[in-house]
Amino acid sequence: FSLTDPASPWLVVNKHRPLVPAAYVPADLVQPAVTMTASGEAALLNRTTAAAAEAMFAAAARDGVAMVLASGYRSYTTQVATYNSYVAARGQADADTASARPGYSEHQTGWVFDISDGNGACGFQPCFADQPSAVWAKANGHRFGFVVRYPWMFHPITGYYYEPWHLRYIGVEAATDMVARGIFTLEEYFGAEAAPGYP
């Protein structure tokens, strides 16, 4: 698989590796049959990620864990608005630790989505890591091809603070291998340079 093709599950997007083209749109966006609070484009994933999400959410439900899709695909245009709202509220330096600049967001690829537990507890906050859906996803996500893309204390490598809700599809083989080898970031696993900030 390619580390640069946006249609590849092994794509590495970070502050040093923008999407090419910047306004990339996945060709196979679909709405997965899962519980969600997302609507519009945010309810979409690429076909591969959607199928894996359906399997994972069903497995979580069998274990008594409620998992909800809170945010999936985000277009370049939406990322412009999202990023600019962070800049307006926090200033650019702080915005860059919380939101990707347009053309640098994994959400634009269709390979990623954010989860919640449906009751709003600790939504998009670090304490979400202790909620059942986050605990389950961290322990079991690799069985379905998912990793927590921005793990705890790895922001000097990934460029982002801990996001226990942000799940990235890389395929079962790679995700399981990462867990088995104790590797936590895509940068380290695929040999890409750390990207703590924009060049």
Three-state secondary structure call for residue 142: helix
Tokens of 131: 């909620």
Is 163 catalytic? The answer is yes
Count of other CB atoms within 10 angstroms of residue 45 = 29
Active-site annotation holder among 54, 163, 173, 187: 163
Tokens 């997965």 correspond to what residue?
A: 32
End-to-end CA distance of the chain: 26
Check the CA dihedral 161-9-140-51 and report its sign.
positive
The Cα-based distances of 24 to 11, 84, 107, 136 in angstroms read 13, 19, 11, 31
Q: In whole angstroms, how far apart are CA 150 and each of 61, 160, 187?
A: 24, 6, 11
Active site (catalytic) residues: 163
